[in-house]
Structure 1
Amino acid sequence: MSLKKNWLLSLLACAGMWSITLPASAQALLPHTLEPNPENLEQQGLALAQDAAQLVRFQQYDQALARAKVATQLAPETYQPWFIWGSLAARNENTDQAIVALKKARELAPEEARVLFTLGSTYFQKGDYNQAVATIEAGLNLEPNSPEALFDLGNAYLKLNEYDSAIASYEKAYTLEEGFWPAINNIGLIQYEQGDISQAIKNWRTAAEIAQNPTEPRLAIAVALYQQGNQEKALSLGKKALTSDSRYANLDFLEENLWGKTLLSDTAAFFASPVMEGTISRLQVNPTEDN
């Protein structure tokens, strides 16, 4: 699992992200369009940025992005507007724009671990995994006990095929937050690629017990059981998994969620079985094409 929908936007929605206190005059302007005032442009910019953060909470992303962009012009020497703009640009998959904004935020607030974590996640999104590792590790030097950042670091190491480092990051993330099932799930993904199917199944079962929506670990278990010859149980579990979330019948979606080559190949064979073909057909999903 990649958690690409990411935890990073929750940083914006958090009321505690603001280390500044806006004056009453700026706070009163939040619901309205702000008129530039040369005497307090920076405060107006920060008010707009805070307004953008509130809009994120209500998933009004386009409005939030527009406010954040204006805020960077009004308060160009404060990191919050750049941080919000960069995070929202990353959400829109404008990674080049996001990286420029987040690097500016980093320049203005080099001790803000959240900026580094978000920048590292954006490098991962862009496919620059070495830079993702370096940036997330810089953030962890400032804030070492972030399960989400450790998980992102593990994902970057996984993409670099540095499996031992990936597992170490996932294990630390899970130690810090016991219910953080994606970390255990992804350890299973690595173990499957390494040929340790029994241990992978064990970790996926742990993840399935914890997860609110256990579709991914259940499907992974089904594929593994099918490869081991336990076809009846595998098909029953696979049908249940795809019925609960048909996105997982898409091989591209699974690859995006960091399923490795061996597991993807075995999943393709599993989907080609008559029972699973029928299930997927009923769900009107083509497992080789994007939804």
Structure 2
Amino acid sequence: MSLLGMPRLASGQALVPHVLRLDPTKLQQQGLSLAQEAVQLAQFQQYELALQRVRLATQLAPKSPEVWSLLGGLYLQTNEIDNGITALQKAQSLDNKNSAVLFALGSAYRQKGKYSQAVEYIKAGLQIKPNVPGALFDLGNTYLMMGQLSDAIVQYEKAIAQEKNYWPAINNIGLIKYESGRIDEAIQYWKTASAIDEKAAEPRLATAVALYMKGDQQQALALAEAAIKLDNSYADLKVLKENLWGDRLLADAKKLLETPQIRAAITQAQGRSSPAQQRPTPRR
């Protein structure tokens, strides 16, 4: 006997470990349960905890395209683009007819600046599930980044045709119109977008910039103050650029944002909000 009370092995004997038999069905169910927990955590922006659970879920349910898709989406949400693409490609290999995965891959490649690949994936998704406003909007954004402005407008108009109150697409047509010098048309698009969503700061600020450059300073300043109260992150030119504002509109916005009245409004708005509220994730 050994000191621990275990029998000594005779020469040539081997200790055979107990083999635990695992039920694949139960493991699959546990994996899907973890994935559901991850979804709930992500809703409260607890992304690291969500990632921990869904990574384990991929080990328990490795053949579930939904779990891999969720992992990819969480990686994109936390700006881990390459990891997101890897997970989404795994999901696609398990289910190549999932339009949501293709749309997500398109968005990921657009964020990497690989616009041709982004267009390819988004179009592939639209072939499976056409007329999805969000995907059409994303395709329009990709064309806008590529400088294909007429193609971008076509996609935005398709998105609006599917959902008439899809104000981000209306707003972005205004961005294109302004860069091409059609300021009055741009203002009309932005006013329409503002009427759809009373809490949308971006079209209000864009309208204010256009009015300021047209000489209507009183109305422009009042509108800009209202926009900044709604969301002061739009007072940051970097945020505006991330939201696809063009060079002309950015240059004009800088002039408005540097006026004493608007600088005071920005300072006051920033004092009312927490640091986390000042820089939201760009919606593009």
Q: 1:262 maps to what in 2? A: 248
Distance 2:69 2:198 in 1: 31
Q: Pick one of 59, 62, 65 that aligns with 1:73.
A: 59
Considering only CA atoms, is the larger Rg found in Structure 1 or Structure 2? 2
The structure-2 alpha-carbon separation of the partners of 1:57 and 1:268, relative to structure 1 and needing over 3 Å to count, comes to closer
Segments of structure 2 that go 5 or more residues without pairing to the other structure are: 1-19, 272-277, 280-284
Assess if the C-alpha contact under 8 Å between 2:100 and 2:125 holds in 1: yes
- SS of match in other structure, 1:252: helix
Which residue is 1:228 aligned to? 214
Cα contact 2:175–2:245 (8 A) shared by 1: yes
* Distance in 2 (alpha carbons) for counterparts of 1:157 and 1:92: 24
Counterpart for residue 91 of structure 1: 77
Deviation, 1:212, is 3.8
Label 1:54 to 1:271 Cα distance change in 2 as closer, same or farther (>3 A). closer
User: Is 2:197 the counterpart of 1:208?
Assistant: no
Alignment RMSD, CA only?
A: 2.0
Q: Does 1:178 align with 2:164?
A: yes
For 2:97, the equivalent position in structure 1 comes to 111
Alpha carbons 2:47, 2:78 under 8 Å: kept: no
Asked which structure has the greater RCO (Cα within 8 Å, sep 6+), the reply is: 1
Q: AA paired with 1:89?
A: Y
Q: For 1:42, what is the secondary structure of its paired residue?
A: helix
Which of 166, 169, 178 is the equivalent residue of 2:155? Answer: 169
1:37 aligns with 2:22: yes
Measured in 1, the distance between the counterparts of 2:21 and 2:34 equals: 11
- Number of positions where the alignment pairs a residue of Structure 1 with one of Structure 2: 253
Which residue is equivalent to 1:62? 48
Change (3 A) 1:59 1:275: closer
Distance change >3 Å, CA 46–CA 262, structure 1 → 2: same
Whether the 8 Å contact between 1:36 and 1:44 is mirrored in structure 2 is no
Q: Residue deviations 1:206-227, cap 9 Å, x none?
A: 0000014121111100100111
More displaced stretch, 42-51 vs 263-272:
42-51
**Post-superposition CA distance 1:154-187 (Å, at most 9, x none):** 1111111111111111111111111111110010
Q: CA 1:225/1:85 → structure 2, altered by over 3 Å: closer, same or farther?
A: same
Q: CA deviation at 1:107?
A: 1.1
Q: C-alpha separation between the residues in 2 aligned to 1:277 and 1:46?
A: 50
Shift of 1:59: 4.0
Q: Aligned with 2:22: secondary structure?
A: coil
Q: Which sections of structure 1, spanning at least 5 residues, go unmatched?
A: 1-34
CA–CA separation in structure 1 for the residues paired with 2:265 and 2:195 = 24
Of 141-150 and 44-53, the range deviating more from structure 2: 44-53
Deviations 1:219-246 (A, max 9, x none): 1001001111111111111112112221
- 1:153 paired with 2:139, answer yes
After superposition, the Cα gap between the structure-2 partners of 1:109 and 1:212, relative to the gap in structure 1 and judged at 3 Å, is farther
Q: Distance in 2 between matches of 1:231 and 1:206?
A: 21
Moved more, 64-73 or 160-169: 64-73
Contact 1:215 1:244 in 2 (8 A): yes
Q: What TM-score comes out, normalization by structure 2 length?
A: 0.83
Instruction: Quote the residue 1:131 is aligned against.
Output: 117
1:188 to 174, 185, 192: 174
TM-score, L = length of structure 1 = 0.81
After TM superposition, give the deviation of residue 60 of structure 1 in Å.
3.7
Deviation per residue, 1:47-71 (Å, 9 max, x gap): 3323333443454433321121112
